[in-house]
Structure 1
Amino acid sequence: MAKDMTLLWGSGSPPCWRIMIALEEKNLQGYNQKLLSFEKGEHKSKEVMDINPRGQLPAFKCGDKIINESCGACFFLESKYKSQGTKLIPDCDAEQALMFQRVFEVNTFGDKMANVIYYNWKVPEGERHESAIKRNKEALTAEVKLWEGYLQKTSSGFLAGKNFSLADVIVFPAIAYLYRHGLSEERYPKLTEYYKNLMNRPSIKATWPPTWKETPGQDILKDI
């Protein structure tokens, strides 16, 4: 089944990583994959553009079907292979509602994170302002506190109910990205507990970004 799938991906990219976690959870190992370099601009290559005309990673095909949006790809895999591997959408209405809520909050989470981490990359030097940097950091701090609060309300160790779900598949890579960039473990104990527990889950260990194993992280979020 997995042999008719192709994933072009970049190391450390949360959108790429969540598809890889979903594939592992659904026992879909053995798919065609190729690691590309953002630094070398390989995400703008013809190989990628043929699948994803936005020139972004991931670029994902399942047979003749293209699903490049990572959340959509994860839902597609769960729908198509629902009887295989880990069940990623809860049956319980309350847990399912919470799962959908957390999944679709990840875009806001990601935007606020990117506004801090990539500010200097996105904003030309002459247009940068300390007030904007401060405002972005305050917005991200409030967002991280929100997720810390979510985890304080659950005793299962997962984001949406008693079991690992698509909420964890989709949100965990973003949380890991925070720690990769220096988020304080002491300041957010529940988030840290969640991160450390899930980083040892087989699907996550198997897909851990190779560049993260080889290079140290950054401290840009140490004050968040």
Structure 2
Amino acid sequence: MAKSMSLLWGAGSPPCWRVMITLEEKKLQGYKRKLLSFEKGDHKSQEVLEVNPRGQLPSFKHGDNIVNDSYAICFYLESQFQNQGNCLIPDAAEERARMYQRMFEGQTFYEKLNNVIYYDFFIPEEERHDSALSRNKEALKTELSLWEGYLQKSPGSFLAGSSFSLADVVVFPTVAYLFRFGLSAGRYPKLGEYYALLKDRPSIRASWPPHWLENPKGHEALKDF
């Protein structure tokens, strides 16, 4: 069944990574995948636009079914293959509610991280202001404290509780970026423990960004956080 799936993806993209983790968790190895370059503008190519008119990655097909938003792909795969691989939506109502909440909050977390580490990339030079970047950094610090607290209060080792779920699928890539960019596990010990727990999970290790493997040393943009 995986042979009828195809994924256009970009290395290091958290939305793409979420999808690849889900495919691994659901034991759907063997799908067709093509690595494209953001730097070369491949995501705006005709090949992508034919699948995803927004010109974004990931772009995913399963037979004749097209699903492109990363959250939607994760839900689609879990619902289509719920009896295969690992179950990613908890049975218990309390954990399921927490999973949905953390999963959708994860998008805000990801955006606030992007507003800091990619500020110069997204904002034209003439529109950049130190005060705006400072506000973005304070917003990210507030967000980090929030997630540190969530993990502190979690009844288990994962975001929803005792089992790995879609919440972890979508949030872990953001956490990995934090430590790739120099976040201190000493200042955020629960986030550090969470990262250490999941980074060698088979589905995550199998989908680890290839350029991170080639260059394990990251950046230091968050070293003072």
Which TM-score bucket, shorter chain as reference?
over 0.9
- Structure 1 position 223 matched with structure 2 position 224: yes
Unpaired segments ≥5 residues, structure 1 = none
Aligned to 1:93: 93
| CA deviation after TM superposition for structure 1 residue 155, in Å | 4.7
| CA deviation after TM superposition for structure 1 residue 206, in Å | 0.6
Identity, % of aligned positions? 64
In structure 1, give the amino acid aligned to 2:88. L
> Aligned partners of 1:20, 1:126: CA distance in 2, in Å?
37
> Aligned partners of 1:33, 1:218: CA distance in 2, in Å?
28
User: Which secondary structure does the structure 2 equivalent of 1:110 belong to?
Assistant: helix
> Aligned partners of 2:44, 2:182: CA distance in 1, in Å?
29
Q: Deviations over 1:37-71 (max 9, x none)?
A: 11111111111111111111101111111111001
| CA deviation after TM superposition for structure 1 residue 82, in Å | 0.4
| CA deviation after TM superposition for structure 1 residue 223, in Å | 2.0
- Counterparts of 1:25-36 in structure 2 under 5 Å? 25-36=25-36
- Counterparts of 1:143-158 in structure 2 under 5 Å? 143-158=143-158
User: Which secondary structure does the structure 2 equivalent of 1:33 belong to?
Assistant: strand
| CA deviation after TM superposition for structure 1 residue 154, in Å | 2.1
Moved more, 78-87 or 117-126: 117-126
In structure 2, give the amino acid aligned to 1:221. L
- Counterparts of 1:39-118 in structure 2 under 5 Å? 39-118=39-118
Aligned to 2:202: 202
Aligned to 1:14: 14
In structure 2, give the amino acid aligned to 1:58. P
What CA RMSD, in Å, does the superposition of the two structures yield over aligned residues? 0.9
In structure 1, give the amino acid aligned to 2:181. H
> Aligned partners of 1:213, 1:166: CA distance in 2, in Å?
24
Structure 1 runs (4+) greater than 3 angstroms displaced: none
Aligned to 2:124: 124
Question: Given the two structures, how large is their TM-score scaled by the length of structure 2?
Answer: 0.97
> Aligned partners of 1:136, 1:99: CA distance in 2, in Å?
26
User: Which secondary structure does the structure 1 equivalent of 2:7 belong to?
Assistant: strand
Question: Given the two structures, how large is their TM-score scaled by the length of structure 1?
Answer: 0.97
> Aligned partners of 1:150, 1:74: CA distance in 2, in Å?
22
Unpaired segments ≥5 residues, structure 2 = none
> Aligned partners of 2:107, 2:25: CA distance in 1, in Å?
22
Q: Deviations over 1:100-130 (max 9, x none)?
A: 0001001111111111111111112222111
Moved more, 4-13 or 35-44: 35-44
Aligned to 1:137: 137
> Aligned partners of 2:129, 2:62: CA distance in 1, in Å?
44
> Aligned partners of 1:204, 1:116: CA distance in 2, in Å?
25
User: Which secondary structure does the structure 2 equivalent of 1:35 belong to?
Assistant: strand
> Aligned partners of 1:36, 1:124: CA distance in 2, in Å?
25
In structure 1, give the amino acid aligned to 2:2. A
In structure 2, give the amino acid aligned to 1:11. A
User: Which secondary structure does the structure 1 equivalent of 2:158 belong to?
Assistant: coil
| CA deviation after TM superposition for structure 1 residue 181, in Å | 1.4
User: Which secondary structure does the structure 2 equivalent of 1:190 belong to?
Assistant: helix
